[in-house]
Amino acid sequence: MTKLISIDRSSPVPLYFQVARQLQELIESGVLRPGARLENEIALAEELGLSRPTMRQAMQHLVDKGLLARRRGVGTQVVNSRVRRPIELTSLHEDLERGGRRPRTEVLSLRTEPADAEVAAALRIEPGTDVLALRRLRHADDEPIALMRNHLPADLVTLDERELGAQGLYRLLRRAGVTPSTADQTIGARRATATEARLLTEARGATLLTAERVSFDTTGRAVEYGSHVYRASVYSFEMTLDAR
């Protein structure tokens, strides 16, 4: 593995970051696969001609990013790469496919119900109006990463559990002639409830990322209200910022 890492001592980039960045590339490209064990820090430092503190800092950088895990009695192992999702009007299912991950969806519930005040306000409808309510657990490579709750106007589209288990919601909407065009989204964080922790295989009270989104079609009609939670340990949002 160390033969694939090159150190440029004349570069202004810190040595630990050079190592960490190249290890990250090896992990994300699949050269180092989930479950692969790394040599101990002392051996790696000697092979690369680095000090032990520098090597330790590089490894800790990847542990903090969720790419490596230190396990007692096992050593340092590669874990499933973190899901990095760009801030775009796409579905998680499509983003996972685009990133080379294998999405799988478990439909927890699908029913028609009257909209409560929160849902009605989001969809710009009267409280008590019928809406389609769905709750799903999304996996990436058989690892649970997101618990998703969505509400749609009841007259918008017909959905069934089989289709929702195999396709992303936005893909099904587009197939029905509904095109989400713009959205308002808020991203935050909170502690997991007992039920969320169980479904997402996290410790009770673990930190979850949250995203609430209201999507609109090309006519300006609100077509979907999503309230989702994601495992912060394996998931992150990414965005590009421009200076004005």
Residue 81: predicted pLDDT: 56
Residue 135: predicted pLDDT: 97
73 burial (CB, 10 Å; 0-12 / 13-18 / 19+) is exposed
- Helical spans, DSSP H, in the chain: 15-28, 41-48, 52-64, 92-98, 117-123, 161-166, 169-175, 194-199
Q: Digits of tens for pLDDT over the chain (244 positions)?
A: 677 888 888 888 889 998 988 898 888 787 888 778 888 888 889 999 999 999 999 998 888 777 888 877 778 888 765 555 555 556 677 666 666 667 889 999 999 999 999 999 999 999 999 999 999 999 888 889 899 999 999 999 999 999 998 888 988 999 999 988 888 888 899 999 999 999 999 888 888 989 999 999 888 899 999 999 998 877 776 666 556 5
How many whole angstroms separate alpha carbon 130 and alpha carbon 29? 46
Question: Which SS3 state, helix, strand or coil, does residue 132 take?
Answer: strand
Handedness of CA 201, 204, 209, 212 (dihedral sign): positive
Q: Count CB-CB contacts under 10 A for residue 206.
A: 15
Residue 178: predicted pLDDT: 92
Residue 242: predicted pLDDT: 59
Could you read off the pLDDT of 67-90 as tens digits, one per residue? 888 877 778 888 765 555 555 556
How many whole angstroms separate alpha carbon 42 and alpha carbon 182? 52
Residue 210: predicted pLDDT: 92
How many whole angstroms separate alpha carbon 102 and alpha carbon 14? 35
Domains and CATH numbers, the chain: 2-78 (1.10.10.10), 83-238 (3.40.1410.10)
- Rama region for 108: left / alpha / beta (φ>0; ψ in -120 to 50; rest): alpha
Q: Which among 114, 118, 153, 152 is positioned nearest to 135, based on CA atoms?
A: 152
